[in-house]
Amino acid sequence: MKIGIIGTGYVGLVHGAVMADFGIEVICADIDKQKIDKLNKGEVPIYEPGLKELLQKVNDRIQFTTDLEYTVENSEAIFIAVGTPQAEDGSADLTYVFQAAESIGKHMNGYKVIVNKSTVPVGTGKRVKEIIKKQLENKDVNYDFDVVSNPEFLREGKAIKDSQLPDRIIIGCESEKAKEIMKKIYDVLYLKETPFLFTNIETAETIKYAANAFLAVKISYINEMALLCEKVGADVQEVAKAMGMDGRISSKFLNAGPGFGGSCFPKDTRAIYDTALKNSEEMMVIKGAIEANEKQKRKMAEKIISIMETVSNKTIGILGLSFKPETDDMREAPSINIIRELVQKGARIKTFCPGAMKEARPIFSDINEHIQYCKDEYEAVKDAHAVVIITEWNQFRGMNLQRTKKLMKDNYMFDLRNIHAKDKSVYELFQYYGVGKG
Ligand code: UDX
């Protein structure tokens, strides 16, 4: 079995490495020559735990190229794993998906299965099919092909494990021939008794958005509950724990925080809301989750400013910039909103993040004069009036609170992930504020 993967971002690269580990010959293609050159030198362009090691291990079964013709000609199945960034109107921008489909059609030399792994709105599979058909007509050939939707559910930071041991594999396809090829590709998972769901393309495309939007709703729900808890003297962590004891609810994704970020939830919630609007439906629950998330991010800075009375000329130590731990990704990270708001109100920022220091500088290019990037958490809190924990890196869970207090000028601690909430000493050392701890 030989497969091609177009797009070497998080999804494409991780999928390629894991498939190669499963014994498949993989060709990873990208139009970005710099990226391919790096990969051919053994460098990994993204930060994902375990990926570098896995790519080294499967080195003789994986190739990296910018040659799409070679990729298509030599692959039985071709996965499209390119980016689908958010367009200005909130919809998913499908330019790269359609470009990939065009290249596939142009270079096809026989029967192929074209697998959509990028997160794409319902109906994209059909459009990919039309584009390929048109390319084949242009070449005046009549090769048979199938389009399959096989959405990816991996989480950043846990991408390898999520791909090696997924909760489920969703395959939307219209032909038995394609179904058999997909089963063959995922043979290892089939043998491991991973649940498989075979359905039509439109349903598979919808599943991905439905799952992500539901998780986003869950987070916004607990975040709004946290705001109420603060007002009425309740504890959101206890509320979430008790809610999670109901098997119908489950305890996962009920951690209150500064709002969800990342490359998926913000983009996917807006995209499915847009798809519904285009189909004359307004998804009120998802709209609510999006708006509650914006509000949550705003509320964090508001709370800090109101408790400290003013942040003007105050030094704030910010710990954690990435949207979650174990990643360098800052896309839609709540840290961006919080830092911008604090700087706007006159604060000086000192910050440290174990993953995203390099990413942060260009994001804050217009306000970098107010930000000091520090070598660790202790340098970031030195002479600070307040420390704000935005991302729950383990390093911050384990930080020495006594030492932190001694280094600071004043003793405000805003723990936006409640990582120290259960430590009694934190209340003695700091003016401590968690999220939803009334
Ligand atoms: C998510 C989905 O989990 C994954 O299945 C999909 O393929 C891509 O989108 P990811 O974006 O990597 O994965 O991050 P995830 O761990 O789901 O967290 C998303 C955001 O929600 C983060 O900002 C995180 O901090 C926040 N979150 C998550 C909470 O605030 N509370 C929670 O209880 C869980």
CATH number at residue 242: 3.40.50.720
Ligand 1 contact via 158 beta carbon (within 6 Å): no
Domain boundary among 144, 176, 198: 198
Residue 205 domain-assigned? no
Same structural domain, 326 and 350? yes
Same domain, 155 and 77: yes
Q: Is the pLDDT of residue 14 over 90?
A: yes
**How large is the average pLDDT for residues 332-352?**
98
From the alpha carbon of 259, which atom of ligand 1 is closest? Answer: 30
The per-residue pLDDT for range 188-246, each reduced to its tens digit, is 998 889 999 999 999 999 999 999 999 999 999 999 999 999 999 999 999 999 999 99
> Could you tell me the two tokens for 35?
């990226």
Burial 289-304 (b: 16+ CB within 10 A, else e): bbebbeebbebbbebb
In this prediction, residue 86 has a pLDDT band, given cuts at 50, 70 and 90, of: confident
Q: Could you identify the atom of ligand 1 that is nearest to the CA of residue 323?
A: 23
Cα(210) to centroid(ligand 1), Å: 14
Whether 14 and 48 have beta carbons less than 8 Å apart is answered as yes
Tell me, using a 6 A CB cutoff, whether residue 432 lines ligand 1. Answer: no
What is the model's pLDDT at position 438?
Answer: 86
Q: Report the distance separating Cα 202 and Cα 206, nearest Å.
A: 6
133 touches 107 (CB < 8 A) = no
Is the confidence at residue 92, as pLDDT, over 90? no
Which pLDDT score is estimated for 191? 87
- Of 198, 222, 247, the position where a domain reaches its end is 198
Say if residues 113 and 146 touch (Cβ distance below 8 Å): yes
In the chain, the number of structural domains is: 2
Task: Choose which residue among 46, 155, 269 to substitute to test ligand 1 binding: the one with the highest number of ligand atoms within 8 A of its C-beta.
Answer: 155
Same domain? 290 vs 228? yes
pLDDT of residue 72: 98
Structure token digits, residue 53: 């090691």
Question: 150 and 86 share a domain?
Answer: yes
- Quick one: average pLDDT of 182-186? 96
Of 284, 222, 283, 213, the residue nearest 249 (C-alpha) = 222
Mean pLDDT of the chain: 96
State how far the Cα of 52 lies from the Cα of 45, in Å rounded to an integer: 10
Q: What is the pLDDT of residues 381-435, one digit of tens each?
A: 999 999 999 999 999 999 999 999 999 999 999 999 999 999 999 999 999 999 9
Give yes or no for residue 70 having a pLDDT over 90: yes
Residues 216 and 179 in one domain: no
pLDDT of residue 335: 98
Taking residues 151-173, what's their average pLDDT?
95
Residue 132 in this model has a pLDDT that exceeds 90: yes
Q: Are 94 and 84 contacting, i.e. CB atoms less than 8 angstroms apart?
A: yes
The residue range of the domain holding 105 is 2-198
Closest to 221 (Cα-Cα) out of 283, 272, 295: 295
Indicate which residue's Cα is closest to atom 2 of ligand 1.
Answer: 155
Q: Do 187 and 219 lie in a common domain?
A: no
The HSE-up count of residue 346 (CA atoms within 13 Å, CB side) is 8
410 and 265 within one domain: yes
Q: Interhelix angle for 284-308 vs 334-344, to 10°?
A: 40
238 shares a domain with 165: no
* 370 inside domain: yes
Domain boundary among 198, 232, 256: 198
Model pTM score: 0.94
pLDDT value for 144:
97
Task: Give Cα 308 distance to the centre of its chain.
Answer: 33
Do 168 and 278 reside in the same domain of the chain? no
Find all residues with CB under 8 Å of 302, minimum gap 6, and list them: 341
Q: Which two tokens stand for residue 213?
A: 């939007």
User: What would the mean pLDDT of 282-305 be, rounded to a whole number?
Assistant: 98
* Domain shared by 271 and 396, yes or no: yes
84 lies in some domain: yes
In a domain, 206, yes or no: no
Q: Are 194 and 271 contained in the same domain?
A: no
Query: What's at 287, amino acid-wise?
Result: K
Same domain, 247 and 365: yes
Cβ–ligand 1 contact at 155 (below 6 Å): yes
pLDDT above 90 (res 436): yes
Determine whether 264 is an active site residue: yes
Catalytic member of 28, 173, 264, 353:
264
